């Protein structure tokens, strides 16, 4: 039987190839509403010189949420009061984020707030929460693009001056 849908093995191979090609990024998913907002920002006239792509925009949102104390509390508050009310089979879009911001979300995902007896939230939900929280900011587009620039400058400095062991 032939299918247009990739098998789990094929999907894993493609994901592995992409991660090998871009080892500094991690795949995530975004719920459709937040993806559409970021897509609008990606295509906006403000996103120029350089033009930031999804990994930069998603990572900027994560960074902005974690700039303030209580980031995990804010994320779980959004998840428990707003995202949980959306249809659970809401479509998601596959995107990537930079590894540094993934590590922040991974710590939240592994935290006691995401363990029994609390509901368990996945990476796509945590990522979506960060984008949604940024979307609520006044002048969100400019703030996210400014943070993307700061993140890029920090990554560039780290790559130029790797830590000595």
Q: What count of other Cβ atoms lies within 10 Å of the Cβ of residue 2? A: 3
**What digits encode the pLDDT tens for the residues 18-68?**
444 667 999 999 999 999 999 999 999 999 989 999 999 999 999 999 999
**Mean of the per-residue pLDDT values of the chain:** 88
pTM for this prediction: 0.83
Contact (CB, 8 A) for 78 and 129: yes
| Closest to 83 (Cα-Cα) out of 26, 141, 127, 38 | 127
Q: How far apart are CA 66 and CA 103, in angstroms?
A: 11
Q: Is the per-residue pLDDT at 16 higher than 60?
A: no
């Amino acid at each position: 039987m032939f299918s247009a849908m990739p098998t789990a093995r094929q999907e894993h191979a493609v994901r592995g190839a992409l991660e090998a090609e871009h080892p500094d990024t991690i795949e995530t998913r975004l719920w459709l509403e937040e993806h559409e907002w970021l897509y609008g920002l990606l295509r906006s006239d403000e996103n120029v010189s350089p033009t930031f792509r999804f990994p930069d925009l998603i990572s900027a949102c994560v960074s902005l949420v974690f700039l303030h104390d209580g980031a995990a509390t804010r994320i779980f508050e959004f998840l428990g009061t707003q995202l949980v009310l959306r249809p659970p089979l809401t479509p998601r879009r596959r995107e990537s984020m930079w590894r540094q911001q993934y590590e922040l979300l991974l710590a939240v995902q592994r935290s006691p707030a995401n363990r029994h007896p609390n509901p368990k939230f996945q990476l796509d939900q945590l990522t979506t929460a960060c984008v949604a929280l940024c979307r609520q900011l006044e002048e969100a587009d400019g703030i996210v693009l400014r943070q993307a620039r700061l993140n890029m400058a920090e990554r560039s400095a780290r790559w130029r001056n790797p830590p000595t062991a």
